[in-house]
Structure 1
Amino acid sequence: MSTVKEAVDVAVPVRTAYNQWTQFEDFPHFMEGVEEVRQLDDRHNHWTTRIGGVRREFDTEIVDQLADDRITWRAVEGDIRQRGSVRFESLDDTHTRVELTMDVEPSSVAEKGADALGMIDRRVKGDLRRFKDYIEQRGGETGGWRGRIRPGNPGSVL
């Protein structure tokens, strides 16, 4: 499994950055290769991606979520093996550091080659840069979810 860790500083308050990140269905606006994300419920999302001509569908589960601090997920169905976390750190009243860490297991020979060449790192860096542009140009979030999901208890959504 490969680990990718990238960060970007955005010129919006932590609440704004976090709220926008909870709008999973907006991810295709700034994530390269993501065709669609459908939010199934507070914990689950269905993803459709097309990367290098390969179309994949998979589901993710949010396992830990704390407003203005973090969202942690894992793939639960489909042919994708990944888990990750995005963290939000207030730098001051109008700036936030967004740090994304992902563990990805490439499954095909092409994906393993792309990983070896650093393409996954570059894609994540590009996605964060596009998120920065997206939220800063908007000047505000398109929505927000302020609930709490606790790890280890699938029924605990507050």
Structure 2
Amino acid sequence: MSTSTVKEAVEVGVPIHTAYNQWTQFEHFPHFMEGVEEVRQLDDRHNHWITSIGGVRREFDTEIVDQSPDERITWRSVDGDTRQRGSVRFEPLDATRTRVELTMEVEPTGVAEKSADLLGVIDRRVKGDLRRFKDYIEDRGGETGGWRGRIRPEDPGTSL
């Protein structure tokens, strides 16, 4: 099965801890991620996602395999009909600006998803999601919460 890799970055006008803390608030993702209807945090490592993209509704679970405060969060899908993994990295540019870089590997399934991938829809969606994250966090001026725990990879081969 073919995998598509998407890599995008955005500069946000908030300190690194603010950008990172907001990204750990997974249940707020529907506020800035197109097609994400709901994210339920099941525990420190697991989230349940409901998405609707191009009329295709999906439910799946993800597992955080590596998380280091103010540095990175890496995840993979663990069940459901969506196969993906990714990593978001945070880099301080100065005391008030942060670079947020998102890398995702997605295996499109079905004719609609494969066609959307060929047309660059996944790339545009990720770019739009990061732009909306920038607007969301900058407009708020602060995070809605934060989780500062550390999760270490159980299998070094799972990290991007």
Task: Summarize deviations over 1:103-127 as a string: whole Å, max 9, x none.
Answer: 0000011111110111100000000
Aligned position for 2:123: 121
Deviation at 1:28, TM superposition (A): 0.2
Q: Percent identity?
A: 83
* 2:148 corresponding residue in structure 1: 146
> TM-score, normalised on structure 2?
0.95
Question: 2: distance between equivalents of 1:2 and 1:52?
Answer: 18
Find the residue that maps to 1:9 and give its secondary structure.
Answer: strand
Within 2, Cα distance between the matches of 1:124 and 1:93? Answer: 26
Runs of 4+ aligned structure 1 residues displaced above 4 Å come to none
1:42, CA displacement in angstroms? 0.1
- CA RMSD in angstroms comes to 0.6
2:93 to 73, 91, 94: 91
Normalising to structure 1: TM-score of the pair?
0.96
| Partner Cα distance (2:127, 2:121) in 1 | 10
Displacement, 1:54?
1.1
Per the alignment, residue 48 of structure 1 pairs with 50
User: Which residue in 2 is equivalent to 1:156?
Assistant: none
Q: How many residues align?
A: 153
1:54 and 1:120 mapped to 2: Cα distance?
Answer: 14
- Cα distance in 2 for residues equivalent to 1:32 and 1:89: 24
Q: Which residue is equivalent to 1:32?
A: 34
The aligned residue for residue 100 of structure 1 is 102
Structure 1: stretches of 5+ with no match in the other structure: 154-158
